[in-house]
C-alpha cells in the first residue's frame, strides 16, 4: 500500500467502523439478511417476476449493502493488522485519536503539541505502516 492509501484509511477508519455497525444492525432487523435466514435460492425471486419484483429489488439492495460492509471490514482489518508496528508512546497516542476520528488540531490541543507536530507524527506512523516487508508465500520444502 502507498502512503496516500494508508493516510486515507486512517482518515476513514472511524466512520467505516460506525457504518459497519449501523449497517449490520439495519440489515439484521425484521426481514434482514435473507441469505442467513432462508438461503440464497429461497430469497431469489422466480423468473416470472423479473426485475420489477419488489422482493428481488430489496434483496439486491441488501446484498449490495453486505458487499459494502465486507469492503469496509477488509479496509478496517488492513489498519488493525498494522497497529502493532507503532510502539512509540506519542505515536500510539496520535494513532489512537486519529482512529477515533479526531482532527490534528484537537489532538494537538489534547497533547499540548502544535497541529504541525501532530502532522509530522502522523507521517511517521504512515511510513512505519507502509514499510512493512511483505512476507512472501513460499511453500515448505521437505
Which pLDDT belongs to residue 34?
A: 45
Please indicate, yes or no, whether residues 58 and 73 belong to a single structural domain of this protein: yes
Residue of 110, 26, 104, 108 lying closest to 62 (CA atoms): 26
Residue-wise over 34-65: b if at least 16 C-beta within 10 A, else e? bbeeeeeeebbbeeeeeeebeebeebeebbee
Please indicate, yes or no, whether residues 11 and 49 belong to a single structural domain of this protein: yes
Please indicate, yes or no, whether residues 64 and 95 belong to a single structural domain of this protein: no
> What average pLDDT does this structure show over 76-84?
95
Q: Each residue of 34-60: pLDDT tens digit?
A: 444 455 555 555 555 456 788 888 888
Confidence grade of residue 8 (pLDDT, cut at 50, 70, 90): very high
Q: Where are the alpha helices (DSSP H) in the chain?
A: 3-27, 34-38, 40-43, 54-80, 89-99, 104-111, 115-130
Q: Each residue of 87-139: pLDDT tens digit?
A: 999 999 999 999 999 999 999 999 999 999 999 999 999 999 998 655 555 55
Give this prediction's pTM. Answer: 0.71
141: in domain: no
The total domain count for the chain is: 2
- Choice among 7-21, 25-39, 85-99 with the minimum mean pLDDT: 25-39
Q: What's the domain range around 95?
A: 83-132
Amino acid at each position: 500500500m502507498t502512503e496516500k492509501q494508508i493516510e486515507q484509511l486512517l482518515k476513514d477508519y472511524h466512520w467505516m467502523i460506525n457504518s459497519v455497525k449501523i449497517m449490520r444492525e439495519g440489515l439484521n432487523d425484521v426481514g434482514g439478511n435473507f441469505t442467513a435466514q432462508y438461503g440464497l435460492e429461497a430469497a431469489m425471486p422466480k423468473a416470472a417476476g423479473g426485475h420489477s419484483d419488489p422482493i428481488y429489488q430489496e434483496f439486491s439492495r441488501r446484498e449490495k449493502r453486505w458487499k459494502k460492509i465486507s469492503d469496509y471490514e477488509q479496509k478496517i482489518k488492513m489498519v488493525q493488522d498494522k497497529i502493532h508496528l507503532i510502539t512509540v508512546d506519542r505515536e500510539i497516542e496520535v494513532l489512537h485519536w486519529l482512529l477515533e476520528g479526531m482532527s490534528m488540531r484537537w489532538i494537538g490541543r489534547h497533547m499540548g503539541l502544535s497541529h504541525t507536530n501532530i502532522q509530522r507524527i502522523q507521517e511517521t506512523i504512515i511510513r512505519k505502516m507502509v514499510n512493512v516487508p511483505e512476507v512472501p508465500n513460499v511453500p515448505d520444502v521437505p
